[in-house]
Amino acid sequence: MSIPLSPDSIPDALPGPPFFGALLRVVWQHVRDRMLQAIHEAGFVDFQEAHFAVFSFPLPDGMRSSELARQKRMSRQAVNYLLSQLEDLGYVERRAADGSDRRLVYLTPRGHEVVAAIFGCLRQLHEQWSKEVGKERFDDFVEVLKQLSTKAQEPTNR
């Protein structure tokens, strides 16, 4: 019979919960809440949290809806449902590029205003968190996230 080892008894063991994934989720939810608040405060009260699936990096300006669905890991039907909502609200439009019959998604001026509200909110959070934890530590944190983000986008051998 084996005796289970506690994480403290294993050299170089990972720390216990909450693990970094949960911590990232908590922070990300806070960021989304702040962005939605900023969007609503800018007068776009019809913008819903579900619309972030379209209004997230990279923005879909000049993109096919099928490519958007692939990038966001959503079904084409779900993306088209959101795009229809956003079109009705005046945030995006689907139109064919010159010389093509294939419709692409474009942000409208109203959509660009939402993006400006999002970017303004993110700049404020960046400044606030830089002050809270120190500019050097926060800059290091952002660089680590950039490095991990790049690594996460590389093809894997699954």
Q: Say if residues 110 and 87 touch (Cβ distance below 8 Å).
A: no
Residue 18: the pLDDT is: 87
Residue 6: the pLDDT is: 59
Look at residue 1 and tell me whether its pLDDT is greater than 90: no
Residue 41: the pLDDT is: 98
Q: What is the mean pLDDT of the chain?
A: 90
Residue 32: the pLDDT is: 97
Mean pLDDT of 113-125: 98
DSSP letter at 52?
G
Residue 95 bridge partners (DSSP): 104
pLDDT in tens, 8-62: 554 566 677 888 899 999 999 999 999 999 999 999 999 999 999 999 988 998 9
Whole-angstrom distance, CA of residue 68 vs CA of residue 76: 8
Whole-angstrom distance, CA of residue 31 vs CA of residue 21: 15
Share of the chain above pLDDT 90, in %: 75
Going by their DSSP bridges, the two strands 103-107 and 92-96 should be labelled as antiparallel
Q: The whole model's pTM is what?
A: 0.83
Residue 154: the pLDDT is: 86
Q: How many CB atoms lie within 10 A of CB 138?
A: 17
Per this entry, what is the length of the chain? 158
Question: What b/e readout covers 86-114, taking b as 16+ CB neighbours within 10 angstroms?
Answer: beebebbbeeeeeeeeeebbbbeeebebb
Q: Residue ranges of the alpha helices (H) in the chain?
A: 20-41, 65-72, 76-89, 109-133, 135-152
Mean pLDDT of 64-69: 94
Residue owning tokens 């990972």: 14
Look at residue 125 and tell me whether its pLDDT is greater than 60: yes
Residue 155: the pLDDT is: 82
